[in-house]
Amino acid sequence: MRYDLDDLRLFVHIVAEGSITAGAHRMHLSLPSASARVRSLERHAGVPLLIRGRRGVRPTPAGTTLARHARDVLARTARLDSAVASYTRSPTAPLTLLGGGSAMHGLVPRALVSFLRAHPEADVTVAESRTPRTLRMLADGEADLGVVLDDEARECGLRTEPLGDDSLVVIGQAGGVLAGRTALTYGEVAEHPLVGLDADSSLRRWIEKHLGPHAPVARHRTTVANLNVLVTLAAAGVGLAVVPRRVVDPSRPLDVCELREPWACRHHLLAWGVRDHASTAATAALAEHLRQAAVAGPLSRNGLGDLVGQLPVPGSQEAPGAEDGGGLFAPPHLPPADDRS
């Protein structure tokens, strides 16, 4: 049978969202139109593809198989489109890098500073994006690289590699309620006043998703939009905060305690897009700068001001790594042009 690409894309969205309504919204279709397309797919397949229930839909075994192959077909189509488009693309077209909130706090800025200083001919478009959206954009050929969470990127079908720890910890004022403590459950954390990120933030949603409907009742004294502000409030004793470990500046007067929950152990992955642009030397170079940034410590309270101060003007003789190949912000050593993927 012949498959319509829009039908396949709709089906993949429905499976990902667990809802025909949400899938239709993603495709800008009415619910009746989306339902008719699904029924047409099932009629042509000769088997049910979705199990419909009060709380949404889930794929049958046949539906799971269709969704897996549909993702592959759509990825190949995106690569085809990109390969043809590459003949009209400017050689200096910007790279697109996506990442979640914790990645944007230190990892991405550090990598951007070093990469852009080392590659003055390159441009990068950066956007904050939750892991599911990042994976969709990478698979659809709309981005080159993404920093994603491993728990949400399993079996995504994209090329990925480990990038570093993004585990969650509890922080509070030095000498405060965390003094002498080494680990707390979230239930124990919730016994104290908290400060947190806005309800729409990726970190807040992550925590609430894993706590589920029986989460302990917590008192948030305030919520903010910025991790730096959140850490400052916690350090001032306004309340405890749950934050990624890598945003904690060791020089700051804070007590840090492990969060004893299975879901608190998180790791960043570097995910590659399917578009032809993602195989360029510039993309490989940006990926290398992200790897270097991932092994560096968190930014200090002065943030990027200190970071930029460490970097010499490109082309100067004092550039780290210019002669000895070392240095945190040295331009990555790329293989000869013929060997670059």
First to last CA, the chain: 36
The residue with greater pLDDT, 14 or 314, is 14
For residue 312, pLDDT over 70 is answered with no
Query: What pLDDT, on a 0 to 100 scale, did the predictor assign at position 164?
Result: 87
d(CA 4, CA 8) in angstroms, rounded, equals 6
CA–CA separation, 122 and 114 (whole Å): 12
Helix crossing, 61-85 with 5-17: angle to 10°? 120
- Nearest partner of 287 among 194, 157, 163, 103, judged by Cα: 163
Q: Which domains does the chain have, with CATH numbers?
A: 5-85 (1.10.10.10), 95-162+267-312 (3.40.190.10), 168-264 (3.40.190.10)
pTM reported for the whole predicted model? 0.62
Crossing angle between the packed helical segments 61-85 and 131-139, to the nearest 10 degrees: 60
Strand pairing report for 254-259 and 168-173: antiparallel
Instruction: Please state the rounded mean pLDDT for residues 302-323.
Output: 43
**Confidence class for position 306, pLDDT limits 50, 70, 90:** low
- CA nearest neighbour of 272 among 122, 82, 109: 82
Q: Confidence class of residue 78 from pLDDT cuts 50, 70 and 90?
A: confident
Highest-confidence segment of 1-5, 201-205, 263-267, 319-323 = 263-267
Name the phi and psi angles at 205, rounded to 5: -65, -40
- Per-residue pLDDT at 165 exceeds 50: yes
Residue of higher predicted confidence among 118 and 339? 118
Give the Å distances, CA to CA, from 272 to 69, 143, 281. Answer: 19, 8, 13
Question: What is the model's pLDDT at position 294?
Answer: 86
Question: Per-residue pLDDT averaged across 205-213, rounded?
Answer: 88
**pLDDT exceeding 90 applies to what percent of the chain?**
48
> Is the per-residue pLDDT at 338 higher than 50?
no
Indicate if the pLDDT at residue 221 is higher than 60: yes
Report yes or no: 137 and 98 within 8 Å, Cβ to Cβ. Answer: yes
Between CA 89 and CA 81 the distance in angstroms is: 12
Element of type H or E holding 127: strand 124-128
- Would you state the pLDDT for residue 332? 33
CA neighbor of 124 nearest in space, from 114, 134, 132, 136: 114
Q: Which helix (H) or strand (E) holds 148?
A: strand 145-149
- Indicate the angle between helix axes 61-85 and 31-45, nearest 10 degrees: 110
Alpha helices in 140-192 (DSSP H): 186-189
To the nearest 10°, the Cα dihedral for 5, 10, 16, 20? -160
Query: What integer pLDDT is reported at residue 96 of this predicted model?
Result: 94
